[in-house]
Amino acid sequence: MNLLLIGICCIITLAGGVYAGVSRDPYAKLMGIGIIGGGVIPLIIARGYVDVAAALAVIIPLSTIFVLQLCKKGAA
């Protein structure tokens, strides 16, 4: 992978981490975690771990569903 693309993916991951750390709303934190996933998965694929990236592609949306259900229970 091109060094420029790796740098861009790292910036996306860091931006998502900062956004998730700064925001107070749980739904905004989920958006930040999604941004982190969008930056990390290409980096994992660049290292050749396609099976790990496939597992993350399944785990990230499932964990989002569970966290949304927890946020719904906390609001009630």
Helix (H), strand (E) at residue 72: helix 50-75
Res 13 pLDDT > 90: yes
d(CA 47, CA 34): 20
d(CA 75, CA 10): 34
Q: State what percent of residues in the chain have pLDDT above 90.
A: 37
What pLDDT is stored for residue 24 in this prediction? 87
The reported pTM is 0.76
Helices (H) and strands (E) in the chain, counts: 3, 0
d(CA 48, CA 30): 27
Q: Confidence class of residue 75 from pLDDT cuts 50, 70 and 90?
A: low
